[in-house]
Homo-oligomer: A and B are copies of this chain.
């Protein structure tokens, strides 16, 4: 493509990767192969960094997607909700190689949003009394048991959008939206992989799913 539209926030994928360091807590969006930043994840899996905490719905498959980070030994801890598609997770956990914190998917989504909006913790009935409530404060409201879920924040968020405008406003495509708008709010540094960049003013102001205030870096999907 000749002379594509650019943005002050646009970086190469290499520049974007240089902003991520060992020990970082990293939010990665996506659900079931939809809405995940595939190129950012592929690039991340080749970085010479380690001890990462990966906060994501799942961890892809063995060696594939986020799974490649675990295969490459870059992961210290996982926070998420569904690792049944990647048996390497349970193996690594059982072998004591990584820590895994399972959070029910709704508490996970709400916990990420909480971090983004300045809520430190919230009471939810989900998982009350179950094995996943261990170590969490319990309290009754109107006769029902609730547990305290803390906010889930991160150093970096890697997200994916259909399009960005030059300011960094994002729109998504159908169920690829999932965790993206939430994760965009919950990290110090937000890197968005986008399919296209259009001039500011292109999107209907009523339909911007992620306002540009939440987006730091854009990487154009290759």
Contact = CB atoms under 8 A, between A and B. Distances in A.
A208 B205 CA distance: 13
A17 interface: no
Interface in A201-219: 204-207, 209
Contact of A110 (B117, B150, B204): B117
Contacts of A172: 206
Q: Interface centre among A123, A124, A141, A142, by most B CB within 10 Å?
A: A123
A8 to B, nearest CB: 26
The number of times this chain is found in the oligomer is 2
Q: What size tier do the contact residues of chain A reach?
A: 20 to 34
A222 interface: no
Contacts of A123: 119-122
Smallest CB-CB A-B distances: 5 pairs: A122-B122, A120-B141, A207-B207, A120-B123, A119-B122
17 contacts: A110-B117, A118-B124, A119-B122, A120-B122, A120-B124, A120-B141, A120-B144, A121-B141, A121-B146, A122-B123, A141-B150, A172-B206, A173-B206, A174-B206, A177-B206, A206-B209, A207-B207
